[in-house]
Amino acid sequence: MNIKFRLILMNFLEFFVWGSWLISLGGYMIVVLKFNGTEVGSIYGTMGLASLFMPALLGIVADRWINAERVLGACHILGAILLFCASKVTDHTTMYWVMLLNSMVFMPTIALNNTVSYIVLEQKGYHIVKDFPPIRVWGTVGFICAMWLVDICGWTISPLQLYISAASGLLLGVYAFSMPKCPPAKTNKKASLLSSLGLDAFVLFKQRKMLTFFIFAMLLGAALQITNTFGGTFLQDFKNNYADSFAVKHPSVLLSVSQISETLFILTIPFFLRRFGIKRVMLMSIFAWVFRFGLFGIGNPGSGLFLLILSMIIYGMAFDFFNISGSLFVEKEADMKIRASAQGLFMLMTNGLGAYLGGLLSGRVVDHFTVDGVRNWQSIWFTFSAYALLLGIVFPLVFRYKHDQKAMENIHH
């Protein structure tokens, strides 16, 4: 079998596993298991908690002792077992611990999947920068396909979504062991534990510009988690007034427009970065979050469906312009010796601390606007929109940065 096709299949399955439950599990836990917003938020927060330390720890294991493809396979097999267990759980405490363990084995696989792809492409003589993106885009396709499958089959508020995820995880776990060998790189064995965990990059906090950037990275990371956690529940709650509408019947299909938009906005980033600079691109991202949440607040599955669709399209800008431009900013500003650590720190602040705080605090906001089991979604979304607006007002005032077009163009070469 062609090696590129094998990597496409691996990337497809990697995100199919996640897409099977990430967007719809919140609705299942609220509608069927009757968890409250804080409880659901805490379960989604396990991904942030696990991201604080597990990707770095298993990265060290793959760097020093065990082949990367074996670590990837073992993580997915363990994750499949845990997801199967989660499908049987009905109380919050057990679900929290099972999903925390699942997050601890799943979150590192995103980086491990990339590592295996890079090593295999290098072994076969391919150009990583040119050949990996067209392979990686199939991961997003896998995520969308999983969302559509769960939705069209009517499993968005059913534990069957966890069976689908567990089955695909088991398949990927076994498949990973059949990939070409990706042995530990001898050159990385001397890297210190501090360096591997990304902690030597904390020296960047001494620069006011970088300290400000990382604080906003964390605060924006919190916004990333909100619609993952509550987007599906929000659409499910329209079932009394709009039972026959497309958005209520197929919430995950509608939400998948966000992922489709994401794949398109990625292509525009080089132009926007060169033309406007990182400060303005980050500002565009922040205001895209204002509109993302605000349009949810005024939209509905009837006459306001176009507002919901517009919110999904804007998500692509909100997500990509922050995540990818932020990563490029770190790449440009960090010293060459701590580049990898600096990227680790960026991930820790966004997907770790930010996602954890987002899961925790968004759940409290939902509970605050819930009376007798009825959620006031307009107030909820307007609160999140106001939060993003506050960030948008403060960010340009405190983040000092002058755009250097030539320096930015050099990153792309």
Summarize pLDDT for 102-149 with one digit per residue, the tens: 999 999 999 899 889 989 998 999 888 788 878 988 998 999 999 999
Look at residues 83, 92, 88 and name the one whose alpha carbon lies nearest to residue 40: 92
Residue 219 domain flag: yes
Helix (H, G, I), strand (E, B) or coil at 13: helix
**Claim to verify: residue 277 and residue 385 sit in the same structural domain:** yes
**Claim to verify: residue 209 and residue 176 sit in the same structural domain:** no
pLDDT above 60: residue 341: yes
Residue 12, both tokens: 């497809």
106, with CB counted inside 10 A (0-12, 13-18, 19+), is buried
- Residue 412 has what pLDDT? 42
**Claim to verify: residue 157 and residue 33 sit in the same structural domain:** yes
Residue 191 domain flag: no
pLDDT above 90: residue 99: yes
* Residue at which a domain ends, from 183, 218, 248: 183
- Residue 167 has what pLDDT? 98
**Claim to verify: residue 169 and residue 247 sit in the same structural domain:** no
CATH number, domain at 292? 1.20.1250.20
Segment 193-204 shows an average pLDDT of: 70
Residue 268 domain flag: yes
- Residue 325 has what pLDDT? 78
**Claim to verify: residue 242 and residue 113 sit in the same structural domain:** no
Question: Which domain, by its residues, includes 219?
Answer: 198-413
Segment 156-184 shows an average pLDDT of: 96
Segment 11-16 shows an average pLDDT of: 97
d(CA 157, CA 232): 9
Look at residues 340, 346, 323, 309 and name the one whose alpha carbon lies nearest to residue 235: 309
Residue 189 domain flag: no
Query: For residues 325 and 104, which has the higher predicted lDDT (pLDDT)?
Result: 104
On average, the pLDDT of the chain sits at 90
- Residue 254 has what pLDDT? 95
Q: Count of domains in the chain?
A: 2
Task: Kindly report the number of other CB atoms within 10 A of residue 336's CB atom.
Answer: 5
The number of residues in the chain equals 413
Helix (H, G, I), strand (E, B) or coil at 374: strand
What b/e readout covers 355-378, taking b as 16+ CB neighbours within 10 angstroms?
A: bbbbbbbbbebbbebbeeeebebe
Residue 193 domain flag: no
**Claim to verify: residue 178 and residue 233 sit in the same structural domain:** no
Helix (H, G, I), strand (E, B) or coil at 191: coil
The Cβ-side half-sphere exposure at 179, using a 13 Å CA radius, reads 35
Range of weakest confidence among 54-58, 65-69, 92-96? 54-58
Residue 39, both tokens: 């409880």
Q: Which residues contact 410 (CB under 8 A, 6 or more apart)?
A: none
Residue 89 domain flag: yes
Look at residues 126, 128, 122, 110 and name the one whose alpha carbon lies nearest to residue 180: 122
Range of weakest confidence among 7-16, 277-286, 344-353? 344-353
| Beta strands in 222-373, from DSSP E residues, in sequence order | 370-371
Residue 137 domain flag: yes
**Claim to verify: residue 62 and residue 211 sit in the same structural domain:** no
**Claim to verify: residue 70 and residue 13 sit in the same structural domain:** yes
Full DSSP string of 72-92: HHHHHHHHHHHHHHHTT--SH
Look at residues 382, 390, 408 and name the one whose alpha carbon lies nearest to residue 281: 408
Residue 136 domain flag: yes
- Residue 188 has what pLDDT? 47
* Residue at which a domain ends, from 155, 183, 211: 183
d(CA 3, CA 9): 10
pLDDT above 90: residue 266: no
- Per-residue pLDDT of 57-90, as tens digits, reads 888 888 888 999 999 999 999 999 999 999 999 9
